[in-house]
Chains A and B, each alone.
Chain A
């Protein structure tokens, strides 16, 4: 019984506390670098598109708002032919960033992307692709993968031995 009264009293005292609400937009809040806002696609340290079109972000997205299609360049490097995010559906959960094996897809500290026309919330690859590596400067997926691409032959990735073929197998 008393505890109820005490509760009521304690809640009442909150009338005299400082309010936590930040009065956006007059006052801009601090956004941490890992804030989950507008999504971008980043590039390798050497400037190549990082995304390898593995479809993992698309499949993990709980609202299915990522669509892409894989294609390959003449040397076998895979990349997305198109990459589309429907931000009018995105819930900024960050699962896509979590799932991405290449650090290509990243959420950024920017949420000011309202539009009057919903169609403008659909971002294509040219809207998403930035020119740097974003939060993860050093990483290049192709350096750890065993697939040969232009400029990186078999056996040239990290910790790889010399490639073997039928002929080099002869004793």
Chain B
């Protein structure tokens, strides 16, 4: 079910996702403020919406500084990688029937692959900065992303079994009767946790942990290069929310309203949830993070897989 107007779709989705990511900066600050009994940015433009523009202008005018001790080419490429991998992932997300760039039958695997590639961005950024805090941050990132990727993949296997396909549109269609969140509740929780970790969002922002590592892997970044990491992070949040919607909450399915509206509603719900997590949860220690991944979440994911498999076999 590829789009009839591919170029329009590509441009539309690119534009929409970037706008959403930018808007998220505002949304996040407003929501955090809301949950902390504050107002957040409310001076620039209506509801402070123009704050994003002001910030963007500011960040564009900042000195684009490359640390003299940095490994220059790598240092410059690193922030681009994250943007590219995340944006590429958006290519396979079916927002609504017809609103998708490409809908291959291995879409889910493509998504997982791209999200793995995203790890390079962080690792290279830390490495090329030639700074101990940046390096520590990127080491953490490498370990964290690797660990959480493992069961992220496993946690969606249940969905794949139920839908019988890696094609995301197929998965959505398979949820016409029942959203997969019901049969795959454990899988959903696991994917959610892994998603937070993959996007390095609080409470799993150990790679940048400003209280310990200055700013972690992006300590040396400033100006628009830092901006790319920043936008990349919000794109990541959007992507994971979109994936949750697709995999567990029936994608664009819903009554009355047009499908794309349903999709966006669901997606924003999860984005808001991500922000709520940030507002409420403290950061764990790194050893805790790792032991959860390997000792708790991975076994759970395997269990989920086995049980789902068994059930599917039984029902078949």
Contact = CB atoms under 8 A, between A and B. Distances in A.
A32 interface: no
A15 B35 contact: yes
Interface string B251-289: 000000000000000000000000011011100000000
B281 A15 contact: no
Contact of B37 (A4, A12, A20): A20
Q: Chain A contact residues: over half helix, strand or loop, or mixed?
A: helix
A44 B34 CA distance: 49
B38 interface: yes
A18 B276 CA distance: 18
Given A7-B281, A19-B39, A14 B34 contact: yes
B276 A8 contact: yes
Nearest to B40: A21
A15 B281 CA distance: 16
Nearest to A23: B39
Contacts of A4: 281
Contacts of B34: 14-15
Contacts of A14: 34-37
Contacts of A21: 37-39
A118 interface: no
A11 interface: yes
Q: How large is the interface on A (under 10, 10 to 19, 20 to 34, 35 or more residues)?
A: 10 to 19
Contact of B38 (A7, A8, A19): A19
A126 B279 CA distance: 49
Among B37, B276, B279, B280, the one with the most A-chain Cβ atoms within 10 Å of its Cβ is B280
21 contacts: A4-B281, A7-B281, A8-B276, A8-B280, A8-B281, A11-B35, A11-B276, A11-B279, A11-B280, A12-B35, A12-B276, A12-B280, A14-B34, A14-B36, A15-B35, A17-B37, A19-B39, A20-B37, A20-B38, A21-B37, A21-B38
- List of 6 A-B pairs having minimum Cβ-Cβ separation, nearest first: A11-B280, A14-B35, A8-B280, A7-B280, A21-B39, A20-B37
Given A11-B280, A12-B276, 19 more contacts: A4-B281, A7-B280, A7-B281, A8-B276, A8-B277, A8-B280, A11-B276, A12-B35, A14-B34, A14-B37, A15-B34, A17-B37, A19-B37, A19-B38, A19-B39, A20-B37, A20-B38, A21-B37, A21-B39
Interface of B: 34-39, 276-277, 279-281
Interface of A: 4, 7-8, 10-12, 14-15, 17-21, 23
